[in-house]
Amino acid sequence: MFYEAEVKNHIRVPPNLFGEDIKKAVAKQLNQQFDGYISKELGIVIGITDVLSVGEGVIIPGDGAAYYETTFKLIAYRPELQEVVLGKVTDISDFGAFMEIGPLDGMVHISQTMDDFVSFSKSNVLTGKQSKRSLKVGDLCRARIIAVSYKDLHNPKIGLTMRQPQLGKLDWIKEDNQKKEKAAEEKTDKAEKKEKTK
């Protein structure tokens, strides 16, 4: 999920930026410092949206740079357990599918792609044995986050499932909904016919 967070931190501004407006210099350093930043608490920082306040600068002997206590806002993406996400399949392997979900990729294990026995073909397609449904690169899907790991901060791992109602390839969901609507209509028609014969 995407969040806007208010953060307070000490920001180092090097001497070559001393001539610039302090808010602009701090914003430049914040963008540099938080570009690609990942943490368990914040998630993946997308960008700095606003510098709210800049305190008095402090120069530390031997450094030459000024440090400013700064309050700022940022946008971050933090995947949460049980969150339903939309994504695009970016790669298929013999053990599952990789989906782009915002700034991260998540993985759907082959056993979690559909309620069917799934096989992998050399043309990078996952196919259900009975349903004949297929999953390939470029497909748009809806999945649920079932695992999040920050063990390697530079490469968080996201586990996904598509084996629940209203999850899976968007075409499958549409197809299932149409079948349900048709079955409900038939049931209603049958009940009306039965009522008329009484």
Q: Residue 45's CB: how many other CB atoms inside 10 A?
A: 23
H helices present in 81-196, as ranges = 170-196
Could you give the CA distance from residue 84 to residue 18 in angstroms, rounded to a whole number?
Answer: 46
Q: Are 106 and 86 in contact (CB under 8 A)?
A: no
Partner residues linked to 198 by β-bridges: none
One pLDDT digit (tens) per residue for the chain, 198 residues: 889 999 999 999 998 888 888 999 999 999 999 988 898 888 899 999 999 999 998 988 888 899 999 999 999 999 999 999 999 999 999 999 999 998 889 999 999 999 889 999 888 899 899 999 999 999 999 999 999 998 888 888 999 999 999 999 999 999 999 988 988 888 888 877 777 776
- The superfamily (CATH) of domain 84-184 is Nucleic acid-binding proteins (2.40.50.140)
What is the location of CATH 2.40.50.140 in the chain?
84-184
29-to-9, 22, 46, 192 alpha-carbon distances in Å: 12, 11, 15, 71
Which CATH architecture best describes the domain 2-77? 2-Layer Sandwich (3.30)
Could you give the CA distance from residue 108 to residue 171 in angstroms, rounded to a whole number?
Answer: 17
What is the location of CATH 3.30.1490.120 in the chain?
2-77
Q: Are 99 and 105 in contact (CB under 8 A)?
A: yes
Partner residues linked to 7 by β-bridges: 72
Task: Specify the pLDDT at position 102.
Answer: 83
